[in-house]
Structure 1
Amino acid sequence: MIKAELRKKYMQKRKALSVDEAFSLSERILEAFLDYFKPVAGQKVHIFTPIRKFNEIDTKIFIHAFLEKNIRVFVPKVIAEDLISVEINEDTLFETSNWGIEEPVSNEDSGEHYFDYVITPLLYGDHKGNRVGYGKGFYDAFFQSISPASKKIGINYFSPDEPIDDVWENDIPLDYLVTPTEVLSFFNGLE
């Protein structure tokens, strides 16, 4: 299927989830992430904050778990046309952007270019690590600005069951996809 069709299909599937279902699936995705990657104190995680109206995965539980483990947490903030990375802690103040995204009040870019894990929002990811987002291209640009050694990890409620037919040459694939039931690795077509 092409991205526009997949975007529509998976947005509808996501919106059909109840609040309780979405939270339960979010917890299972967090457990799968922690079991597979085993993040430790001092590592750096870049993670998005959820857009509630799109019923996104509840990454606040991820953030809380990371901060409890003394893992450094960074979240995106859009300023003009750029996505910057702001380091946060338990005391960070947030405000809701025009897009309905909770972002730090601070506009201070951390300047970090290497993250152990970049947990990436998406509507759909296929078996090759290709992803369908909201179509704005922020994460493709962000991926180009960070170290290629940073692990790009998509998280999704749904396992891949169909290919993305219109992958573009500037699209940067994920390294991993974590769902409530599996962790897929896309390195050299292995796993």
Structure 2
Amino acid sequence: MLKNKLRLHYTHLRDLLTEEEHKEASIALANRSLSIPIWDKNYFHLFLSIPEKSEVDTSFLLTILQGRDKEVIIPKMLPDRQLEHYLLTDNTPLQANKFGIPEPLSGITVDPKKIEVVFLPLLVFDRKGYRVGYGGGYYDRFLAQCPESTVKVGLSFFDPVEAISDLNDHDIAMDFALTPKASYEF
């Protein structure tokens, strides 16, 4: 199926989740992260979710990361469809951008080459580990700057589709995808 059709369909399905279903699924995803082999790493990149968009609530995953004394890096969108990356500390000031995404206003920047694990926002993924995000290409550009050894972990409320029919050369496959019910390794 084409990315645009998948985007529309899974955005709609995500919006149908009740507040309780959304919370339970987000907690299940965070707990499922404990079952994949990433916990020997130190630098974890995490997107902060947009509550109004029914995205996976990453606050539960953030609690796990902080509880394990991991260095958490969060993104800030730049005008040229690039991301800048900041170490999340108790002193990192956050503010929602024009899309409603909480972002750091300032702080300690982190080179993508230091990032060992990236949790990826997505709507749906396929059985080969490719994801459908929001179509801006921010994460594809960012992942291209990371070392090949960086572990890429997608977070989805939904099981994989068989295939995404319009993949591009710049699409980067994930290493793992987590859903509330299962973990997938690619």
CA distance in 2, matches of 1:47, 1:31: 15
CA distance in 2, matches of 1:91, 1:21: 32
3-state secondary structure, aligned to 1:89: coil
TM-score (norm 2): 0.94
Contact 1:67 1:89 in 2 (8 A): no
CA distance in 1, matches of 2:73, 2:86: 5
Task: Give the structure 2 partner of residue 167 of structure 1.
Answer: 167
3-state secondary structure, aligned to 2:5: helix
Deviation at 1:38, TM superposition (A): 5.5
Contact 2:155 2:177 in 1 (8 A): yes
Deviation at 1:161, TM superposition (A): 3.0
CA distance in 1, matches of 2:114, 2:61: 19
Task: Give the structure 1 partner of residue 157 of structure 2.
Answer: 157
Runs of 5+ in structure 2 lacking a partner?
none
Q: Does 1:104 align with 2:110?
A: no
Task: Give the structure 2 partner of residue 62 of structure 1.
Answer: 61
Task: Give the structure 2 partner of residue 14 of structure 1.
Answer: 14
Task: Give the structure 2 partner of residue 52 of structure 1.
Answer: 51
Name the count of aligned residue pairs: 185
Deviation at 1:168, TM superposition (A): 1.0
Runs of 5+ in structure 1 lacking a partner?
187-191
CA distance in 1, matches of 2:107, 2:138: 17
RMSD between superposed Cα atoms in Å: 1.5
CA distance in 2, matches of 1:27, 1:98: 27
3-state secondary structure, aligned to 1:77: strand
Contact 2:47 2:121 in 1 (8 A): yes
Aligned pairs (5 A) from 1:111-190: 111-186=111-186
Deviation at 1:36, TM superposition (A): 2.2
Deviations 1:56-84 (A, max 9, x none): 00101111221121100001111222201
TM-score (norm 1): 0.91
Runs ≥4 residues deviating over 3 A: none
Q: Does 1:84 align with 2:84?
A: yes
Deviation at 1:109, TM superposition (A): 2.5
3-state secondary structure, aligned to 1:24: helix
Task: Quote the sequence identity (%).
Answer: 30
Letter in 1 for 2:24: S
Letter in 2 for 1:17: L
Q: Does 1:71 align with 2:70?
A: yes
The structure-2 alpha-carbon separation of the partners of 1:142 and 1:31, relative to structure 1 and needing over 3 Å to count, comes to: same
